[in-house]
């Protein structure tokens, strides 16, 4: 049994340190990318309780396709350049969006979502997937979240 859980009294830095360690332990030595993404999506859902959607989109034949996630059913295919995930895939840059309603082309999968963090996962400079986090709170994510999820993305690059 895996028994990872965040320290309720820890700082955000502690949270992301523990999350990275748990994700690394869970995916270490496992070659199946879907299994690894599924476990990390579940960890994110548990470690980041103010999120209503935590998961992955994978780059498949030039478009983003829904991967393992925790949350409500979501749109399956997202063209590169469209919405927050598509912007991350197109630019290769993290997208930190305080208010999704103000983001041109935002794709509403869950009407409750108000802020979003999307971090690309790259192999040899190419975006192979994105990690997508949604929160029902306005401006929920900050630079510490961005740094924490970027570290997670770097660790996962050759495990998904």
* Residues 122-141 close enough to bind ligand SME by CB under 6 A: 132, 134
**Cβ distance 118 to 130 under 8 Å?**
yes
Tell me if 78 contacts ligand SME by CB under 6 A: yes
**Cβ distance 89 to 59 under 8 Å?**
yes
CA distances to 61, 71, 87 from 95, rounded to whole Å, are: 22, 20, 7
**Cβ distance 116 to 84 under 8 Å?**
yes
Nearest-approach distance from CB 54 to ligand SME, in angstroms: 9
Which one of the spans 35-43, 107-115, 119-127, 138-146 is the region binding ligand SME (CB under 6 A)? 107-115
Nearest-approach distance from CB 153 to ligand SME, in angstroms: 16
**What is the number of other CB atoms lying within 10 angstroms of the CB of residue 18?**
17
Tell me if 119 contacts ligand SME by CB under 6 A: no
| Distance in angstroms (rounded) separating the CA atoms of residues 99 and 19 | 25
Nearest-approach distance from CB 41 to ligand SME, in angstroms: 11
Nearest-approach distance from CB 56 to ligand SME, in angstroms: 10
| Distance in angstroms (rounded) separating the CA atoms of residues 55 and 39 | 10
Identity of the residue, 107 or 157, whose beta carbon is nearer to ligand SME in the bound complex = 107
- Judged by CB under 6 A, how many residues of this single chain contact ligand SME? 14
């Amino acid at each position: 049994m895996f028994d990872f859980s965040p320290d309720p009294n820890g700082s955000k830095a502690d949270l992301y340190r523990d999350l990275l360690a748990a994700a690394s332990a869970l995916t270490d030595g496992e070659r199946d990318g879907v299994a690894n993404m599924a476990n990390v999506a579940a960890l994110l859902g548990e470690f980041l309780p103010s999120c209503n959607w935590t998961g992955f989109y994978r780059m498949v034949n030039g478009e983003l396709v829904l991967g393992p996630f925790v949350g409500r059913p979501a749109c399956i295919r997202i063209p590169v350049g469209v919405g927050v995930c598509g912007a991350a895939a197109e630019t290769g840059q993290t997208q930190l969006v305080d208010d999704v309603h103000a983001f041109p082309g935002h794709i509403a999968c869950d009407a409750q979502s108000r802020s979003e963090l999307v971090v690309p996962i790259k192999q040899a400079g190419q975006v192979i997937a994105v990690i997508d986090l949604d929160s029902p709170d306005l401006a929920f994510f900050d630079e510490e979240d961005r740094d924490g999820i970027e570290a997670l993305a770097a660790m996962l690059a050759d495990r998904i």
